[in-house]
Structure 1
Amino acid sequence: MELLPDLWKQELWLPPGVTWEDMDRGLGPSERPRPHDLLLTLPLALGFVALRYLFERFCAPPIGRCLGVRDRLQMSAAPSLKLESYYTQQSRKPTQKEIVILMSQCGKTQRQIETWFRLRRNQDRPCQTKKFGEAAWRFFFYVSAFTAGLSCLINRPWFWDLRECWRQYPVQPMERAHCWYYMLELGFYESLLLRISVDVKRKDFREQVIHHVATIFLLSFSYCANYIRIGTLVMLLHDTSDILLESAKMFNYGTGWRKTCDTLFVIFAAVFLITRLVIFPSKVIHTTLVLSMDVFEPFFGYYFFNVLLMVLQALHVFWAGLILRMIYKFLKGKLEKDERSDDESELDEDDKEERLDQDDNCCWDRSKDSLNSKLSVLTNNCVLNNLTNHRASAADRMRKAQ
């Protein structure tokens, strides 16, 4: 219990020389952000989870059918109690030694066991409709959040002049629209964190967890410390490129939209690199690090807030590297899928194995067809030779008889 009073010490949250009493005198009850307001985000997060379930169940499928989203037909693994028990309890990808043990237990060949595990892993692979539903849900939220955020910020002075973010800080009145903007964004990211274990697992799963946690801490702290003006700009800036990313994914999962998907990807890449690698560090981080010092001296909240911004910037650099690699493959004509991978990383290897199997079958079919054609030619030659010899011998007998 002694930790709570220390947690809300004014030295941690407010600049030197400013107290909580100053905040109370300068701001009305509805104009001051209070920490207990954040409790509202918990029911909002649960509401987003429920709303997302309804959206993916009833709204996303008809939209996906309009875009031509179809699930791939997959072969099911043959029923095997021993292999299924090993798959669920031990490992989804057995080693060579474990395969030898399974061979003796099941009476199957190594190739049969490897094929069984590959087919079994593909059964757990997320289908196209599931991936489309997740992308569509995020797309519609980001569009709604960006529209709402832009409408409540476009006429504010700090939207055009970043120095206004720190004028009379921290005694700055909070508008009700900005409060709800914060609550909805916080509730959404909390819902993503609640659902991340059942969502499609991508290669950057850890980075996604770090991003969601850092975003929740950043928004919560900036709200309590009244960093609301700069916080709203950070949220609006991030939603800009997220809209394009999710829309490109939606068209990527459909059929016949390759040009549209490529166009959206190029636009997304340009917007992402500009907003996350140029505007975010040169404007937002520069504002919080440098311009804010014209108003107050450094304190704990100043360092903590900027550290969280740096974490986000590090993630931006990581994702920018993936995007640049995708652009390189796109220009080379080798781009086949998202570098982040909508599937688990191990499933990529399964695809390679499946393609190798198909290539082997194709090679065998081609060699079999070639062999059949050669045998056919040889047979025809033998038949022709026999007919020729038979005709020649018949002609000899006719001449001798004459």
Structure 2
Amino acid sequence: MLSSLSELVWQDWIWFPPGVGWADLRDHDGKVYPKTGDLWATIPIALCFLLIRQIFERVVATPLAKLLGVKDNQRVRLIPNPALESSFFTSSKHPPQSCLESLSKQTGLSVRQVERWFRRRRNLERPNKLKKFREASWRFTFYLIAFFAGLAVLIDKPWFHDMKMMWEDFPKMPLITSQYWYYMLELGFYMSLVFSVATDVKRKDFKEQIIHHVATILLISFSWLVNYIRAGTLIMLVHDASDYLMESAKMFNYAGWRKTCNLIFTLFAVVFIITRLVILPFWIMHTTWVYPLTLYPAFFGFYFFNGLMVVLLLLHMFWAVLILRMVIKFLPGNDIVEDERSDKDETESDEEDEEKTETSKNGHVQNGHTLLNNNHRKLE
């Protein structure tokens, strides 16, 4: 039954245009072609990346953080309270007013003291600056190396200068050794990001990040299977072009180098928009979606590949809005870029602001300085 299902799923007409199929990807006359079994190599590569990351963060990232002056905000220590601790883990980390009042009666603390305890306890759950810096420096290192290595691999290839060449003699283009390693390392790295998702810093766009990683893994894997490798290498290069700039901006932000952070982030925004909202849709996607229809009739593999491309494009548009909002915030003169995706510490000033808004003097409500504080929170 499984054999019959496999034969049905991997029919030539599903994944290839008429006249070609899987038989064309068999090695012959010294020419090597991508194989399904090659993808299994990405699992040990991903595990190696996880190990290398641990060594890198301790040997390179931590000393670099000290050199750049990365300092954590002082967090208030909590007085142990078993009842509140139990409620924090079993009930809610953001208890409603009714729960706060119940816990207040149970512990003998005021509602304000219970609320303050939960706020401080939530802050202890959030990653510190050193963890964020080490994560950013690891990704910066990989993306920087991957971009320039990819550029070196592709710059002399004809389809880099004329994208229509990516379909020349498709799918009978033999595999190049540099393409093999470019693919395996990129796919292995994205798989390592999925493996480490439970321990990495979580942001507000966590779900979008997971969708992006999964779509990227599917796109890279599928392009390997059906020998869309020329298109795949260009897509990976376009994505790596801006990522290392974003990670370096984070690093300088954690170090408190505000002007450097803002300058790099502005450069990142420009590169991101040019590569992902101009080059990707109007050059690469045009060559994978529009141009092939002049050569072949549409088939399922064509729709599947371009469907994944559309998912990535929609995510890029979502992030572009956040990026532009961040750039606009500091252009008039703000000191620091605020990451719209960040999960910020709740500060004691937030507490004071809440108290001020509840206190009326001479009939006037004291609004505090929440907006001012928000404008000076750092890129996370």
In the superposition, the TM-score normalised over structure 1's length comes to: 0.85
What's the CA shift string for 1:60-93, capped at 9, x where partnerless?
A: 1111111111111110121000001111111111
- State the partner residue of 1:395: none
TM superposition shift of 1:297: 2.0
How far apart in 1 are the matches of 2:317 and 2:36?
A: 32
Letter in 1 for 2:209: Q
Partner of residue 15 from structure 1, selected from 14, 17, 20: 17
- State the partner residue of 1:329: 329
Structure having the higher Rg: 1
The DSSP-based 3-state class of the residue aligned with 2:331 is: helix
How far apart in 1 are the matches of 2:194 and 2:161?
A: 33
TM superposition shift of 1:200: 0.7
Within 5 Å, which residues of 2 pair with 1:124-273? 124-255=125-256, 257-273=257-273
How far apart in 1 are the matches of 2:24 and 2:197?
A: 41
How far apart in 2 are the matches of 1:87 and 1:12?
A: 52
More helix by share: 1
TM superposition shift of 1:19: 2.6
What's the CA shift string for 1:359-379, capped at 9, x where partnerless?
A: 69999xxx9xxxxxxxxxxxx
How far apart in 1 are the matches of 2:101 and 2:136?
A: 42
How far apart in 2 are the matches of 1:355 and 1:170?
A: 62
How far apart in 2 are the matches of 1:21 and 1:361?
A: 73
TM superposition shift of 1:11: 1.7
- State the partner residue of 1:391: none
Is residue 355 from structure 1 mapped to residue 363 from structure 2 by the alignment? no
Within 5 Å, which residues of 2 pair with 1:23-38? 23-24=25-26, 27=28, 31-38=32-39
What's the CA shift string for 1:341-362, capped at 9, x where partnerless?
A: 332xxx45x23xx214456999
How far apart in 1 are the matches of 2:109 and 2:116?
A: 11
- State the partner residue of 2:275: 275
Which runs of 5 or more structure 1 residues have no equivalent in the other structure? 368-402
What's the CA shift string for 1:293-337, capped at 9, x where partnerless?
A: 233221111000000000000001000000111122112334644
TM superposition shift of 1:43: 0.6
- State the partner residue of 1:341: 341
In the superposition, the TM-score normalised over structure 2's length comes to: 0.89
Contact 1:329 1:335 in 2 (8 A): no
- State the partner residue of 1:392: none
Contact 2:327 2:337 in 1 (8 A): no
How far apart in 2 are the matches of 1:360 and 1:90?
A: 24
How far apart in 2 are the matches of 1:313 and 1:135?
A: 23
Sort the Cα spacing of 1:360 and 1:187 in 2 relative to 1 into closer, same or farther, 3 A: closer
How far apart in 1 are the matches of 2:296 and 2:354?
A: 70
- State the partner residue of 1:289: 289
How far apart in 2 are the matches of 1:76 and 1:56?
A: 27
Is residue 85 from structure 1 mapped to residue 86 from structure 2 by the alignment? yes
Which runs of 5 or more structure 2 residues have no equivalent in the other structure? 362-380
Letter in 2 for 1:279: I
How far apart in 2 are the matches of 1:329 and 1:335?
A: 9
Is residue 6 from structure 1 mapped to residue 8 from structure 2 by the alignment? yes
TM superposition shift of 1:100: 1.1
TM superposition shift of 1:29: 6.7
How far apart in 1 are the matches of 2:341 and 2:222?
A: 32
Sort the Cα spacing of 1:75 and 1:264 in 2 relative to 1 into closer, same or farther, 3 A: same
Contact 2:24 2:171 in 1 (8 A): no
TM superposition shift of 1:13: 2.0
- State the partner residue of 1:298: 298
Sort the Cα spacing of 1:82 and 1:329 in 2 relative to 1 into closer, same or farther, 3 A: same
Sort the Cα spacing of 1:94 and 1:337 in 2 relative to 1 into closer, same or farther, 3 A: farther
Give identity over the alignment, percent. Answer: 49
How far apart in 2 are the matches of 1:339 and 1:64?
A: 20
How far apart in 2 are the matches of 1:191 and 1:45?
A: 5
Is residue 315 from structure 1 mapped to residue 309 from structure 2 by the alignment? no
TM superposition shift of 1:28: 5.1
Contact 2:26 2:32 in 1 (8 A): no
> Whose RCO is larger (CA < 8 A, sep 6+)?
1
Sort the Cα spacing of 1:91 and 1:335 in 2 relative to 1 into closer, same or farther, 3 A: farther
TM superposition shift of 1:7: 2.7
The DSSP-based 3-state class of the residue aligned with 1:108 is: coil
Sort the Cα spacing of 1:245 and 1:225 in 2 relative to 1 into closer, same or farther, 3 A: same
What's the CA shift string for 1:202-248, capped at 9, x where partnerless?
A: 01101000000000000000000100001000000110000111111
